[in-house]
Amino acid sequence: MTVWTKRVVLPADQPAISIKEQLTAWQVPRRIRGNFRMGRRILLNGVYQPTSTRLKPGDVLDMTWLPADFEVADSHYVPDASQPLDVLFENDDLIVVNKRKGVKTHPNSPGEDGTMMNFAQAYLAEQGISAYTVHRLDGDTTGALIIAKNPYVVPMLNQMLRDKTIKRTYLAWVCGNITATSGTIDAPIGDNPADSRTRTVNGPNARPAVTYWHKVHTVYQNTLVRLELATGRTHQIRLHMKHLGYPLVGDPLYNPDSNYSDGLLLHAAAIQLPIPFTNDVKSVGAPLPPTFPRNLRK
């Protein structure tokens, strides 16, 4: 049976909190914390201790996960080494890669290849491990994408995405001359009954959605904006900027009249990421691809 283990040596500035409090701070899900306790699968300095036990600097925690801890424990992406993986950051638990334009994040059917997860699977197979999806970027969106190297950090990272301790910054070219320097778009996003491929503001099953934008500069009636998300809805940036009156350049869904030849101009430029099981925060930048101009031509 496959098991996953993690050893953490607590740092010199480790606060005097309990094992339970530390696991909670690391975003280990409550159900798995209970499994650790019932199965005595968390050891402090080599010995099982109640999770109320206080920690001190230099203590060693050993955690063991079993397949039953996860809804989906195994990853079965077909390895595809046809394209090299542009790795921006890597540690024992995750990689951050620079996603290419026109490549899907993950397959939609078993056996499919040619996606970022297939390329990651081929890369990680050399380490004898599997790739796990954390989040996704639209096919034509480029930039920083987090991929997990084991199943146990996936729920931790997903929680960080939900509570926005993982901060993602995007760059986008939009149509029109935005005169204001910054703003906030607060517009719920729901389904579009007329087109399942798209979403609409205040559509059925709408959920809160907030986007912060900042103007960088304007060139030939197109504006470069920097954006941060307070929520993570499908097509949020694309739909919110259209709702504001400035649809993205080259967006085939929300700006079909745009005839920009290189397609959608949306780039996940940076991720600020709390590193699991540590107190460290890592900022990872993704270089602009050749298809994303610093200045649009006429």
**Helix or strand or coil: residue 131?**
coil
**3-class DSSP state of 48:** strand
- Centre a 10 Å sphere on the Cβ of residue 205 and count the other Cβ atoms it contains: 9
Of the residues 93, 138, 140, 251, which is catalytic? 138
Which of 75, 79, 155 lies closest to 119, judged by CA? 79
Q: Rounded to an integer, what distance in angstroms lies between the CA atom of residue 89 and that of residue 282?
A: 9
Q: Which of 285, 293, 298 is nearest to 264 (CA)?
A: 293
Contact 250, 263 (CB under 8 A): yes
Phi then psi for residue 192, to 5 deg, are -115, 100
Q: How far is CA 272 from CA 268, 275, 280, in A?
A: 12, 9, 10
Residue 148 near residue 131, CB atoms below 8 Å: yes
* Distance of alpha carbon 195 from the chain centroid: 26
Provide the CA 99 distance to its chain's centre, in angstroms: 12
Known active-site residue 113: no
Which pair of tokens denotes residue 198? 């798209």
Residues 6+ apart with CB under 8 A from 278: 11
What are 244's two structure tokens?
Answer: 């504001």
CA angle 62, 156, 168 (to 5 degrees): 135
**What span, in angstroms and rounded, lies between the C-alpha atoms of 203 and 157?**
29
State the Cα–Cα distance between residues 250 and 112, nearest whole angstrom.
Answer: 27
Could you give the residue numbers annotated as active site?
138
